[in-house]
């Protein structure tokens, strides 16, 4: 219900004029007496005086004026979409990692496909279907069509991704099919923040819960350690409500290195130690025992080779230089480090300190760019005259999550932070928030361009922030970025769903983990960007050069394969998804004619009452 022109409600003041008319008539009331009879005192009944006499005529006139006022204001009702000759039905599929869980010889998506195909096969002639999917993003696979073979082909072509579903993706998917008469949602569970379907939702939205409880173990973290110095660690977690047997294998450059067998209690985790490794290279941890989800059964890490890391540290603060030197020594105990202020370091001094070699990594803190070349660069708290435009300076900020590890166990309060405008080829690594700063802040990012691997940390690390035990997440972030920058230029290890950037002058041929091949053209600035959506190895050929990308997957919500019945109580889906204005295309039905007819009926009834009074008592009573 609503009003097209609310300003016309001012005509409701006419009801006040009507009341004034009745008050005026009351004040000038007269009594007729016969002039042929003598006046005599008589006892009259005591009656309660009324300030305003409200009879049936008053209420009829009030109703007529109110109806005319609402008609002028354009009162309307929201009605269901007008019925058409052919029904439109939308099939919406969750394609996040949990839909790839196996139950015997088939996956959850296979079950959803079978249900949807039965609906298509049993539909009435002329009924049209749309096929929409969502994971991190919403995708229209097939818009409304009555071509049954095309709809079946779109359903059969669906494939689950090794990523988690984004909270906004399902809302975007339902927005694509807002004109549908019915919507069928196939997913293991209701969207985040929704507890149930209410009666209004169930009229158009039908939720089909897919899957059963499955046991699953996942590798949540892998640290290769330092070859010949310190051991590595692998964290395995039981995501199910019953004990599971885990056979964990560790390989180095494709060769078996270590193996561990364990029984994990429900929802427990174990930190497995291995090594030290005899040499550097690619480390893979693999769960050999079968379980519900294969995507989180493997994880990759890179162990630096035996050569000493040569690092350059530039900072105006001596304490920061000392802290960063300790970080480089922690990553590689045999590293050689040259440190100083930007004005004090010249190419000759650096070459002498590092034995004539080009630095493997340059860490530049709160300093302008220098002409000194390095294989990789980490910018920390870059100034306005640095490589990234500074949009704002914050006194404090807060780190909330990392794209590769998920939300932090507790938010990390940071000091001075610069809000940076980062180029498209850089991918966010850590997010946070700032006081009086809308939206999410990118606190750390990584990417590769023509100058090689580049990373940035937006917050300041002065006052020994990296050495503070309460600021461990900041130290871990810095160490992880140093390790990522120190990897070979032809190898990257990334989480699934994140963008991979590679310098490329021509199209790249990418071989995906399942063996299929795609061709990706380069974007602006000679940079190739693509998103690995499946866990495993990507073999990339760019201009005759071979590059490898390894994608890791883990998400706590998707890896937990327990399916709970949809609760009947709690916040309904309509509180999170606006099915009326966001999905359903409501029809506006004006009530102008009905209100005008109601006013006319009131006037006619009033006229009939006045005629009746005139016939009974004369014109003086009218």
Residue 412 contacts residue 474 (beta carbons within 8 Å): yes
Give residue 582's pLDDT.
Answer: 44
Nearest to 480 by CA among 495, 490, 499: 495
- The Cα 219–Cα 156 span in angstroms is 31
Nearest to 556 by CA among 315, 340, 346, 269: 269
Which residues have a Cβ under 8 Å from the Cβ of 576 and sit 6 or more positions away?
A: 171, 191, 193, 194
Nearest to 566 by CA among 194, 46, 224: 194
Nearest to 541 by CA among 567, 510, 565, 502: 510
| DSSP-assigned beta bridge partners for residue 102 | 107
Torsion angle of C-alpha atoms 459, 465, 466, 472, degrees rounded to 10: -90
Using the structure block, give the residue that is written with the tokens 């590890």.
405
Torsion angle of C-alpha atoms 102, 103, 107, 110, degrees rounded to 10: 180
Maximal CA-CA distance, the chain: 138
| DSSP-assigned beta bridge partners for residue 134 | 94, 138
Give residue 550's pLDDT.
Answer: 95
Residue 241 contacts residue 266 (beta carbons within 8 Å): yes
- The Cα 289–Cα 73 span in angstroms is 70
The ranges of the chain with pLDDT < 70 are 25-54, 79-86, 192-203, 306-307, 524-525, 564-588, 617-622
Residue 580 contacts residue 587 (beta carbons within 8 Å): no
* Token code pair at residue 578: 């606006």
Give residue 584's pLDDT.
Answer: 46
- The Cα 419–Cα 165 span in angstroms is 28
Which residues have a Cβ under 8 Å from the Cβ of 257 and sit 6 or more positions away?
A: 250, 251, 274, 275, 277, 283
Cα-to-chain-centroid distance, residue 253: 36
Give residue 439's pLDDT.
Answer: 81
Sheet bearing 88-94, strands edge to edge: 138-145, 128-134, 88-94, 182-187, 205-209
- The Cα 168–Cα 416 span in angstroms is 31
- The Cα 554–Cα 559 span in angstroms is 7
Residue 253 contacts residue 589 (beta carbons within 8 Å): no
Polymer length in residues for the chain: 622
Which residues have a Cβ under 8 Å from the Cβ of 31 and sit 6 or more positions away?
A: none
- The Cα 446–Cα 426 span in angstroms is 5
Which residues have a Cβ under 8 Å from the Cβ of 548 and sit 6 or more positions away?
A: 490, 491, 492, 537, 538, 539, 540
Determine how β-strand 397-402 pairs with β-strand 406-414.
Answer: antiparallel
Residue 243 contacts residue 263 (beta carbons within 8 Å): yes
Determine how β-strand 75-79 pairs with β-strand 587-590.
Answer: antiparallel
Give residue 456's pLDDT.
Answer: 95
Give residue 468's pLDDT.
Answer: 92
According to DSSP H, which parts of 426-499 are helical? Answer: 472-485
* Token code pair at residue 193: 């923040």
- The Cα 92–Cα 207 span in angstroms is 10
- The Cα 189–Cα 158 span in angstroms is 19
Residue 170 contacts residue 137 (beta carbons within 8 Å): no
* Token code pair at residue 66: 């109110």
């Amino acid at each position: 219900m609503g009003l097209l022109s609310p300003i016309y409600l001012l005509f409701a003041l006419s009801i006040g004029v009507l009341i004034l008319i009745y008050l005026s008539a009351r004040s000038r009331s007269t009594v007729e007496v016969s002039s042929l009879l003598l006046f005599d005192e008589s006892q009259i009944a005591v009656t309660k005086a009324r300030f305003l006499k409200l009879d049936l005529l008053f209420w009829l006139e009030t109703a007529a004026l109110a109806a005319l006022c609402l008609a002028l204001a354009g009162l309307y009702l929201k009605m269901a979409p007008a019925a058409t000759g052919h029904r439109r039905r939308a099939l919406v599929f969750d394609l996040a990692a949990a839909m790839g869980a196996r139950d015997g010889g088939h996956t959850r998506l296979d079950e959803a496909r079978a249900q949807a195909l039965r609906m298509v096969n049993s539909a009435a002639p002329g009924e049209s279907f749309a096929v929409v999917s969502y994971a991190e993003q919403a995708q229209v696979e097939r818009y409304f069509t009555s071509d049954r073979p095309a709809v079946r082909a779109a359903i059969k072509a669906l494939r689950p991704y090794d990523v988690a579903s984004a909270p906004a993706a399902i809302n975007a998917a339902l927005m694509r099919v807002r004109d549908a008469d019915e919507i069928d949602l196939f997913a293991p569970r209701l969207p985040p923040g929704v507890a149930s379907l209410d009666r209004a939702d169930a009229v158009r939205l039908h939720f089909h819960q897919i899957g059963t409880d499955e046991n699953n173990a996942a590798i949540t973290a892998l640290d290769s350690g330092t070859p010949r110095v310190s051991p590595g660690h692998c964290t395995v977690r039981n995501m199910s409500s019953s004990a599971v047997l885990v056979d964990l294998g560790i390989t180095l450059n494709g060769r078996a290195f270590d193996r561990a067998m364990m029984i994990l209690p429900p929802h427990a985790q174990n930190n497995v130690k291995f090594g030290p490794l005899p040499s550097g290279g690619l480390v893979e941890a693999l769960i050999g025992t079968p379980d519900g989800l294969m995507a989180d059964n493997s994880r990759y890490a890179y162990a630096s080779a035996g050569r000493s890391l040569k690092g350059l540290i530039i900072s105006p603060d001596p304490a920061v230089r000392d802290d960063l030197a300790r970080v480089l020594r922690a990553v590689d105990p045999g590293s050689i480090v040259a440190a100083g202020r930007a004005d004090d370091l010249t190419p000759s001094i650096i070459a002498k300190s590092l034995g004539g070699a080009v630095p493997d990594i340059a860490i530049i803190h709160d300093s302008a760019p220098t002409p000194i070349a390095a294989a990789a660069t980490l910018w920390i708290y870059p100034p306005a005259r640095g490589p990234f435009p500074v949009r704002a300076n914050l006194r404090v900020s807060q780190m909330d999550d990392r794209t590769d590890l998920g939300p932090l166990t507790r938010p990390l309060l940071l000091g001075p932070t610069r809000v940076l405008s980062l180029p498209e080829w850089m991918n966010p690594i850590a997010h946070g928030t700032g006081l009086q700063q809308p939206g999410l802040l990118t606190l750390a990012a990584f990417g590769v361009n023509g100058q090689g691997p580049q990373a940035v940390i937006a917050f300041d690390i002065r006052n020994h922030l990296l050495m503070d035990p309460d600021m461990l997440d900041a130290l871990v972030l810095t160490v992880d970025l140093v390790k990522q920058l120190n990897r070979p230029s032809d190898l990257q290890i990334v989480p699934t769903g994140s963008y991979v950037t590679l310098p490329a002058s021509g199209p790249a041929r990418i071989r995906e983990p399942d063996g299929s091949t795609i061709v990706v053209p380069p974007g602006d600035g000679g940079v190739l960007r693509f998103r690995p959506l499946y866990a495993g190895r990507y073999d990339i050929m760019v201009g005759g050069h071979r590059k490898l990308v390894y994608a890791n997957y883990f998400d706590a919500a998707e890896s937990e394969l327990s399916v709970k019945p949809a609760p009947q109580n709690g916040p309904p889906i309509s509180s999170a998804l606006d099915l009326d204005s966001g999905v359903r295309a409501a029809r506006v039905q004006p009530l102008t004619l009905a209100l005008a007819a109601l006013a006319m009926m009131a006037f006619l009834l009033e006229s009939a009452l006045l005629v009746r009074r005139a016939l009974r008592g004369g014109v003086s009573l009218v």
